[in-house]
C-alpha cells in the first residue's frame, strides 16, 4: 500500500472510530442503552488505540514537530495529572459502592440476602431444587454458586425468577 493510501486509511479509521467511541462514551455517561453500548465502546476502544498508532506511524514527521509545542506539552501534563489522580483514588481505597453492596449480598448469610432480594427462604429453596442446584443449604449465595460451579448471578436469577 503506498504511503498516501496508508495515511488516508489511518486518518479515516481514527476519525470514524473516534466518533463512535466518543458518542458511546457519552451514552454510557448518561446511561443510554448501557449493556450493548458498553460492549461496543470497549471493543471499539481497542480498535481506536490501534487506529491511533496507525495514524501516528503514517503521520510521524508532522507529528514530531507538533509534540514539541508548548500547548501539547501543557495539555499532556494536565491529562496525566488528572489520570493519575483518578487511578490513585481507585487503587487507594476508592472502593466502588455498588461492588461493596453486591459483595455483601453475595457473602451474607442466605436468609439475610433473601430479605434484601425480597424472596422468602422456602420459595428460594424450592426454585433452586427445581433447577437441580446442589448444596442449597450452604451459608451464602456465593457458596451455593461455588458448590454448583456457576455464577452467583445465575443463583440470584433463579431465586428471583428473573
Confidence band, pLDDT 50/70/90 cuts, at residue 135: confident
| Interval 41-77: pLDDT, tens | 999 999 999 999 999 999 999 889 988 889 999 999 9
- Residue 13: pLDDT over 80: yes
| Interval 105-126: pLDDT, tens | 889 998 888 898 889 999 998 9
Number of domains in the chain: 2
Confidence band, pLDDT 50/70/90 cuts, at residue 91: low
Which domain does 147 fall in, by range? 98-160
Domain boundary among 91, 111, 140: 91
- Residue 94: pLDDT over 60: no
∠ at Cα 157 (122, 118), nearest 5°? 50
Report d(CA 67, CA 139) in Å as an integer. Answer: 58
Nearest to 157 by CA among 124, 115, 134: 124
The pLDDT assigned to 18 comes to: 96
81 and 25 inside one domain: yes
11 and 55 inside one domain: yes
46 and 74 inside one domain: yes
27 and 61 inside one domain: yes
Report d(CA 121, CA 110) in Å as an integer. Answer: 8
Amino acid at each position: 500500500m503506498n504511503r498516501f493510501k496508508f495515511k488516508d486509511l489511518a486518518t479515516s479509521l481514527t476519525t470514524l472510530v473516534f466518533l463512535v467511541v466518543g458518542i458511546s462514551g457519552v451514552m454510557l455517561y448518561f446511561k443510554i442503552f448501557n449493556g450493548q453500548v458498553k460492549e461496543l465502546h470497549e471493543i471499539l476502544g481497542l480498535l481506536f488505540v490501534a487506529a491511533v498508532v496507525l495514524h501516528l506511524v503514517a503521520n510521524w514527521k508532522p507529528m514530531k514537530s507538533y509534540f514539541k509545542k508548548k500547548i501539547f506539552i501543557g495539555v499532556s501534563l494536565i491529562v496525566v495529572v488528572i489520570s493519575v489522580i483518578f487511578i490513585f483514588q481507585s487503587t487507594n481505597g476508592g472502593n466502588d459502592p455498588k461492588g461493596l453492596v453486591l459483595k455483601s449480598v453475595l457473602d451474607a448469610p442466605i436468609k439475610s440476602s433473601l430479605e434484601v432480594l425480597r424472596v422468602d427462604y422456602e420459595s428460594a429453596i424450592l426454585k433452586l431444587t427445581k433447577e437441580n442446584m446442589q448444596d442449597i443449604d450452604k451459608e451464602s449465595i456465593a457458596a451455593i454458586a461455588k458448590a454448583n460451579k456457576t455464577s452467583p448471578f445465575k443463583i440470584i436469577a433463579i431465586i428471583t425468577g428473573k
